Structure 1
Amino acid sequence: MSTRKMPQSIKTATELGPIVIFFAAYYLYDLYVATGAIMATTLGSLIVSYAYEKRIPAMPLVTAVVVTIFGGLTLYLNDDTFIKMKPTIIYALFAAALAAGLLLGKSFVKTLFGNFWDLSDTGWHQLTVRLTLFFLSLAVVNEIVWRNFSTDFWVNVKVFGFTGITFVFFMAQVPLLTKHSTKSEDSPEE
């Protein structure tokens, strides 16, 4: 089977499908059914990604490992604490990895998104710092919400709040992406 480019509709489904299924299963059944559903759909998303691209991207792989471990603990111990901690762990891991890259003088964001954006080194550095702080902030917010509010509220923040704020965050990066784009530098003047 040869490597194929994943159609955008399937890529979107693999990225958003697990969280949509989690939300639906939670409101139709309960948090434990939703936990099993997100575990299964996350692993399914990895299989689909691999079938198309013959590789598994790092971020979805890390997410799948954490979902499997913490989801498994939630189901095995019948304790929802673990699935509620999962976003904190994932966001903290992403922030730590990005911060480690900065300390080593590398931009893991460039590695992940270099095919989509052509930025100067300064642009990659600034975007990496912003993403590090963003992921760290999401980890803190998740901790505050799951420890102080109802499970219903936490699920809504997880599904709608984090998804919405991530969209707003990336939209807010457009000026940085535009300012530090190197595409215009590389293209010949007419």
Structure 2
Amino acid sequence: MRQEKAVNPWLRQGLELGPPILFFLAYMRFQDVTWTIGGRDYDGFILVTAGFVPLLLLSMGILWKLTGRISRIQVFTAVMVVVFGGLTVWLNDERFFKMKTTLVYGFFAVTLGIGLLRGQGWLKVLMGEMLPMSDRGWLILSRRIAATFALMAVANEAVWRTQSTEFWVTFETFGLPAFLFVAFMAQSRLIERESLSADDGERKG
């Protein structure tokens, strides 16, 4: 496996969090503006989405260049953003971009669920290098995070269908990531209890 290059943590955070925050700021600035392009009217959400897609790809490309690696989750998320962002702009319909978030979290929940049905904690594939834990620990963590992703998918679907676009943009930019962060932080006791020491890893390797 290719070794990831060290990069300034503040730069990494900027590249990972910058695009969604800029999307939020741009939408708040242009939400009431309408552009007429080629005889069609596009509201602020559509045009901001059109700018967000290349910005996200550029940010990921820079991060890949700096670190030499990119995660499967990032690749999948980028593909979904390109596909549903493209549909949003092409069809001039903001619902596609809003549904994208539901599908991303739903996909993660279903994928982890399939692994659990096979008796495997598939989070280990993504995070095993960062969190050396027992197989039992990965099963428990995968079960909890799968439930978290499922809840986030349901929440996003409920919010975009019942609330204003402004509320959804705020919820998607800050609410869902904060909830996921808290959900992971709440697993600290599990991670501590099921963690493996270097000697354990060598004996099991």
When the two structures are superposed, what TM-score results if normalisation uses the length of structure 2?
0.84
Instruction: Say whether the 8 Å CA contact 1:25–1:37 is kept in structure 2.
Output: no
- List gaps (5 residues or longer) in structure 2: 31-43
Whether the aligned pair in 2 keeps the contact of 1:21 and 1:34 (CA below 8 Å) is no
1:75 aligns with 2:76: no
Q: In 2, distance between residues paired with 1:27 and 1:33?
A: 12
1:155-180 CA deviation, whole Å, 9 max, x = no partner?
A: 11111211221121111111111111
CA distance in 1, matches of 2:54, 2:117: 36
In the alignment, which of 183, 186, 189 is matched to residue 197 of structure 2? 183
- Note the alpha carbon deviations across 1:26-46, whole angstroms, 9 max, x for none: 111121232123212221122
Spell out, residue by residue over 1:86-130, the C-alpha distance to the aligned partner (whole angstroms, 9 max, x if none): 100100111111112223343331121112111111111111011
**Which runs of 4 or more aligned residues in structure 1 lie more than 3 Å from their structure 2 counterparts after TM superposition?**
184-187
What is aligned with 2:177?
163
Which residue identity does 1:145 align to in structure 2? V
Asked which structure has the greater CA Rg, the reply is 2
Q: Would you say the 8 A contact 1:26–1:34 is kept in 2?
A: yes
Deviates more, 1:48-57 or 1:170-179: 48-57
Residue in 2 aligned with 1:10?
A: 11
State the TM-score, normalized to the length of structure 1: 0.90
Q: How many residues align?
A: 186
Shift in alpha-carbon separation, 1:184–1:178, aligned structure 2, 3 A: farther
Q: Which moved more, 1:87-96 or 1:98-107?
A: 98-107
RMSD (Å), alpha carbons: 1.9
Moved more, 43-52 or 167-176: 43-52
**Could you tell me which residue of structure 1 aligns to residue 41 of structure 2?**
none
Q: Kindly tell me: are residues 179 and 185 of structure 1, through their superposed partners in 2, closer, same or farther at Cα, counting changes over 3 Å?
A: farther
Cross-structure match for 2:164? 150
